[in-house]
Amino acid sequence: MAKMTMVQALNLALRQEMERDDGVIVLGEDVGKDGGVFRVTDGLYEKFGETRVVDTPLSENGIVGMSVGMAVYGLKPVCEIQFSGFAYQNFHQIENHASRLRWRSQGRYHVPMVLRAPYGGGVRALEHHSESREAFWAHIPGLKMVIPSGPRNARALLVSAIRDPDPVIFYEAKALYRAFREEVPEAEETIPLGESRIAREGDDLTLIAYGAMLRPALEAAERLEKEKGVSVEVIDLLTISPLDDTLFVTSVKKTGHAVIVHEAPMSFGPGAEITARLVEKAFYYLEVPIGRVTGYDVVIPLFSREKHYIPTVERIVHEAKKILET
């Protein structure tokens, strides 16, 4: 199998799905001749032409509005918003149209579209270029919210998202775009949306993470084992909504300790929902209160302070030790 970056793996998913299904259309700002701001769509314009890889005007609202119309018509648009922080311009289109049409039409119409957007910090970009607002979308009924953590699952999840009959918000951590390579098979591979996975098995503590935070969680787990002899299980959520709580509830029932790690602000974030489910379903197995290592309740700072905002291995290890020593 070829070793690919996440950018290459996403490109493979788009190319193969466009070859398989003539209804798959890619659109967005600079996705055509320029191959996308991060080159995820590189080469697609030359292969599939301007009617299937569409360079749009600088209008996020127009991109998503066109995508909703295409999807209702029967196509499968995959639109790109250059940075997730610009997606607020199309919130109305997503919330009032894409997410509701199946319900509003009593099942007569559905919206099989994917909205791809780079999210998160770590690349020294400004605020709207580095935010983590997955909770906005996860809160809306009718939407699926997916965040891969590496090249191989990014490719498989994007294929599943394109084939899903309903709208999917697909966040890509740009800090992972070229951070490392993984083996990605040329043959078709999918991962069901709404399922999480065990990234590392352990018995003493459960770390729950996703997206760019999976790697520091895994590194913290290794450090805890090396320094303290602690066996840490790491859960990779992959899909934020619908949230698969089966694995992390089962894991916490085994370990009795849980720490949640995400880059988004703490208040009302995914960690709050995960905490609520653990309290509902695993309360009597918890030996101490649940820990959270997250971003802070502020706008993500400029790059000179960025490292103080994003959860680090040191912060995760510190919280884990506090939990275990309580």
CA dist 221 and 207 (Å) reads 8
* Of the candidates 251, 241, 249, the residue with the CA atom closest to the CA atom of residue 210: 241
CA dist 66 and 81 (Å) reads 13
Which one of 129, 139, 262, 318 is the catalytic residue? 129
The C-alpha angle with vertex 138 and arms to 237 and 313, in degrees rounded to 5, equals 40
Quickly tell me which residue has 């999918």 as its tokens. Answer: 190
What is the distance of C-alpha 293 from the center of its chain? 18
Residue 97 bears catalytic tag: no
Quickly tell me which residue has 């299904």 as its tokens. Answer: 21
- The first and second tokens of residue 13, run together, are 């998913």
CA dist 116 and 147 (Å) reads 10
Q: Concatenated DSSP letters for 109-143? A: -----EEEEEE-SSS---GGGT---HHHHHTSTT-
Quickly tell me which residue has 């009617």 as its tokens. Answer: 51
* Of the candidates 55, 2, 58, 64, the residue with the CA atom closest to the CA atom of residue 31: 55
- The first and second tokens of residue 275, run together, are 């905490």
Q: Concatenated DSSP letters for 172-208? A: EEGGGTTT--EEE-SS-----TT--EEEE--SSEEEE
CB-based contact 59:85 (threshold 8 Å): no
DSSP state of 262: E
What is the distance of C-alpha 221 from the center of its chain? 21
What is the distance of C-alpha 52 from the center of its chain? 25
Quickly tell me which residue has 């084939």 as its tokens. Answer: 163
* Catalytic machinery residues: 129
